[in-house]
Amino acid sequence: MDGSASGKNVVIVGSSFAGLSAALEVRKRLDPVHTVTVLDPRPDFTFIPSLIWVPFGLRDAKDVTFPLAPLYERKGIRFVNEAAASFDLEGRKVITTSGQEIPYDRMMLGTGPRLAFERIPGLGPGDGYTTSVCNLEHALSAREEWDRFLEDPGPVVVGTAQGGSCFGASYEFLFNVAHRVRKAGLADEVPIKFVSAEPFLGHFGLGGVGNSGEMVEKFFDKLNIEGITNNVIERVEPDTMYLEGGRELPFKFSMIVPPFSGVDAIKETEGLANPMGFVPVDDEYRHPDIPEVFAAGVDIAIAPPGETPVPAGVPKTGHMSEKMAEAAAQNIAADIQGGDRHKLALADLAAVCVLDAGNSGVIFKAEHVLGDGGTTHVMAGPQAHWAKLAFERYFISSRKRGITAF
């Protein structure tokens, strides 16, 4: 516990699942004399799990976002609508993109990942030839591409590239593509292929969850989708994807989750991250070498549970990110004004994942997503689709009010 009775400064960098949860939890635990500041370049929170529906016109931006400033103002949290440009670890300051210097006594990093499209020539929106649903702008761009595709349909390729870790999003998008193709009466005209760094379907970067491999295989057989696992995407050109080994996949529409890395400001700060830009943490979500710094969510370093022939990152779901952030927030508060500490080993993290398939889906639940032991549950059917709809409504409405408990 800090010895001074004067107010302390807590800075949260990022305001997605981890950052929002940490900010609300720290503010709730600390006395008003202490200041909580959140930095994020986006003015709105985006419910990323719903972005898979945006390209098909099933959601608009207003349906999956809410403004952060009013929420933080009500909760007594200072919001700075900027990104962190760099960190002065010795001086304990965050330097924003406008050059503002924000001091901290404790800092939590919840920036999420950098989308490293440039690692694969031709990948991604903008300068590339594939789409993405990793952020709202990309999902809205994918809607334009999907509308063009419906006018001139053909092969579809969906997947997660080597170095990516958000396998659930690519599976969900794939199943929704298959559903929309059938509804449009285009099943005979649109062959669908799934490309993944995973060693087998349903691996998810975790070695599988229960009988997830068998369950996903059944979905692929039912929907007539070809799965191409354990593969490296070498490059993408207009209408063609080239895989290592020489296979070529023609496409009229493609959505590929890119490789992930840490954001530049973290990666470029000496001693803050591993070579990929991800932040190491202990069981309190504290940096092992920099005690004033905590991290939670997609920006932390997690070793895969086992080696894979093609690099496949470990996913960090919204549920996992929030649990990490809650632990970090409790420990930050304990540092500043005392109280119970919270240790949560990565191996003890639980995960709940709902893969929507348009009018059906799969629910996965694991008590220890990275560790041994515990129970796993896998359930398929229309209840998964309705569960995701219900959770979307609950999550957005509760977080708008500053309620973080599941």
Query: Is 134 labeled as catalytic in the residue annotation?
Result: no
C-alpha 215: how far from chain center: 23
d(C-alpha 69, C-alpha 386), whole Å? 31
Contact yes or no for 209/168 (Cβ under 8 A):
no
The residue annotated as part of the active site, out of 54, 166, 209, 332, is: 166
Query: Is 166 labeled as catalytic in the residue annotation?
Result: yes
The residue annotated as part of the active site, out of 36, 353, 362, 370, is: 353
Map the chain to HEC letters: CCCCCCCCEEEEECCCHHHHHHHHHHHHHCCCCCEEEEECCCCEEECHHHHHHHHHCCCCHHHHEEEHHHHHHHCCCEEECCCEEEEECCCCEEEECCCCEEECCEEEECCCCEECHHHCCCCCCCCCCCECCCCHHHHHHHHHHHHHHHHCCCCEEEEECCCCCCHHHHHHHHHHHHHHHHHCCCCCCCCEEEEECCCCCCCCCCCCCCCHHHHHHHHHHHHCEEEECCCCEEEEECCEEEECCCCEEECCEEEEECCEECCHHHHCCCCCCCCCCCECCCCCCECCCCCCEEECCCCECCCCCCCCCCCCCCCCCHHHHHHHHHHHHHHHHHHHHCCCCCCCCHHHCCEEEEEECCCCEEEEEECCCCCCCCCEEEEECHHHHHHHHHHHHHHHHHHHCCCCCC
Q: Which residues are catalytic?
A: 166, 353
